[in-house]
Amino acid sequence: MSDLDAFRQEVRTWLDENCPQEMRTPMKGFEDACWGGRNYKFASQAQEDWLRAMAEKGWTVPTWPKEYGGGGLSKAEAKVLASEMKRIKARSPLSSFGIWMLGPALLKFGNEAQKMEHLPPIARGEIRWCQGYSEPGAGSDLAALATKCEDKGDHFLVNGQKVWTSYADKADWIFCLVRTDFEATKHNGISFVLFDMETPGVEAKPIKLISGRSPFCETFFEDVRVEKHNLVGELNKGWTIAKYLLTHEREMIGDIGGNRPISEIVAGSVGLDDNKKLADPMLRAKVAETEVDEWAYMLTLTRKLAEAKAGASLGADSSMLKYYGTELNKRRYELMMDAAGHDGLEWEGERSNDGDLARMWLRTKGNSIEGGTSEVQLNIISKHILRMPGA
């Protein structure tokens, strides 16, 4: 038996003993995801047990080094773990901007003290992070950000406003882009700082979305004191870190894996004709087309990740994956709404689980906006991969 086979056996046995049955059922909506954090209320004992068990193994972040709360697994081992989890339909134990975004950036750019302070609580789901990038005047043109950060000798002072800050009202800490040099060209005066959302002067106001939910906020900073050791990387060199983090964010948003095959969902809803075919032939063709694209997209994701050197990011290809994956996900939800017909239009009540499908459908419209819009991804592909003149 190879080492990997032995590892698979070990994982299988461990999962069998430690993954609660409840955590082996599909999530009903994204509220079922576990986000962790200081004030987090677990949805169930099973959810809490599952997080604790996985965190103890370091398997919430399988490839992070052990000293930072990770599992220290090789890429191959992590794949085994993922496939074994998928086999028993285990839920992800933890959804976390810390894992998807900040962690990789700290691993690459953070100093030892920062890694020791922040990575283990992320891995254990104890501290929940939010992303302070966008501002009212700096969306696609992120580098135009104007939140001011002044050097006050032994500390920094932050003043300004962020917007679209997802879960700012629930997060414990924020990783935040600030301007530390107003004289330099716009990319050269940005710094990357971390601070506690409970610091005096921080205020998060929820914004209501078209889905009727309010997962994101306007976030205001008034004379917020930030300790100097919370600067990541060098002063005025934050843009490199910001961009590196974005490539990870994009891989995460682009990853639509784990969903039920669209053909399965749709077949149950519009019904079949006399020949046992989906009653709507046009929908049938579109579903098949989407299945082809989803299949090939997942393969591409796997291929690109396999090609990338261990620990390295995908660079500009993350834009291709983000663009394609999010547009695909939007298409998938359009088809699900088409298939659900009248039922999918309900917004409240038990029958529709309070309009879960309609609200999810609306939420997916943000996929091609968050983390850089589709247009921005296409611009990046044109410039950095195709090297188009003038791009």
Partner 1 sequence: MGLVLTEEEKMISEMAEGFFADKAPVKQLRELRDNRDETGFDRGLWAEMAEMGFAGVLIDEDHGGSNMGFMEAGLIAEQMGRNLTASPFVSTAILAATALNKGGSAEQKKEWLPKIAGGETIMALALEEGRKHNPAATNMSAERSGNGFKLNGQKGMVMDGHVADQLIVVARTSGEAGDMDGLTLFLVDPKTKGIATERTQMVDSRNSARIEFEDVEVNADAVLGEVDNGAAVLKAIVNAGKAAIAAELLGTGGEAFRQTTDYIRERKQFGVEIGSFQALQHRSAHLYSELEICRSAVLMALTSMDMDAAGSEMPVAMAKAKLGSVSKLAGLEGVQMHGGVGMTDEYDIGLYLKRIRVAQELFGDANYQMEQIASMKGY
Which residues are designated catalytic?
249
Question: Binder to partner 1 among 1, 113, 282, 310 (CB under 8 A)?
Answer: 282
Binding residues among 146-175 for partner 1 as defined by CB under 8 A: 163-164
Other residues' Cβ atoms within 10 Å of the Cβ of residue 115: 19
| Nearest-angstrom CA–CA distance, 140 and 126 | 32
Give whole-number Cα distances, 74 to 42, 102, 351, in Å.
Answer: 31, 21, 45
Could you say which of ligand FAD, partner 1, none residue 347 binds, taking C-beta under 5 to 8 angstroms by partner kind? partner 1
Segment interacting with ligand FAD (CB under 6 A) among 69-77, 121-129, 133-141, 299-307: 133-141
Question: Binder to partner 1 among 82, 308, 378, 381 (CB under 8 A)?
Answer: 378
**Residue 264 binds partner 1, judged by CB under 8 A:** no
Per-residue binding letters, 148-167, with ligand FAD (x by CB under 6 A): ----------------xxx-
Question: Binder to partner 1 among 46, 82, 209, 381 (CB under 8 A)?
Answer: 209
CB 30 within 8 A of CB 353: no
Question: Shortest CA distance to 314 belongs to which of 118, 8, 35, 104?
Answer: 104
Could you say which of partner 1, ligand FAD, none residue 368 binds, taking C-beta under 5 to 8 angstroms by partner kind? partner 1
Per-residue binding letters, 331-350, with partner 1 (x by CB under 8 A): ---x--xxxxxxxxxxxxx-
Give whole-number Cα distances, 268 to 97, 337, 349, in Å.
Answer: 34, 13, 21
| Nearest-angstrom CA–CA distance, 169 and 189 | 28
Nearer CB in complex with partner 1: 118/179? 179
Residue type, 138: A
Nearer CB in complex with partner 1: 154/274? 274
Question: Binder to ligand FAD among 373, 381, 382, 384 (CB under 6 A)?
Answer: 373
Q: Which two tokens stand for residue 303?
A: 């291929």
3-state secondary structure of 20: coil
Nearer CB in complex with partner 1: 260/342? 342
3-state secondary structure of 118: helix
Could you say which of ligand FAD, partner 1, none residue 165 binds, taking C-beta under 5 to 8 angstroms by partner kind? ligand FAD
Min separation Cβ 271 and partner 1, Å: 7
Report which secondary-structure segment, H or E, holds 46: helix 45-57
Report which secondary-structure segment, H or E, holds 131: strand 129-132
Question: Binder to partner 1 among 373, 381, 383, 384 (CB under 8 A)?
Answer: 373
Q: Which two tokens stand for residue 215?
A: 């997962």
| Nearest-angstrom CA–CA distance, 257 and 244 | 23
| Nearest-angstrom CA–CA distance, 298 and 321 | 10
Q: Which two tokens stand for residue 294?
A: 């989803």
3-state secondary structure of 267: helix
Question: Binder to ligand FAD among 59, 109, 175, 216 (CB under 6 A)?
Answer: 216
Per-residue binding letters, 77-116, with partner 1 (x by CB under 8 A): ----------------------------------------
Question: Binder to partner 1 among 65, 188, 379, 384 (CB under 8 A)?
Answer: 379
Beta pairing, strands 129-132 & 173-179: parallel
Question: Shortest CA distance to 232 belongs to which of 218, 251, 250, 245?
Answer: 245
Binding site for ligand FAD (CB under 6 A): 130-134, 139-140, 164-166, 216, 366, 369-373, 375-376, 379
Binding site for partner 1 (CB under 8 A): 134, 137, 139-141, 144, 163-164, 207-210, 212, 269-271, 279-283, 330, 334, 337-349, 355, 358, 361-362, 365-366, 368-369, 373-375, 378-379
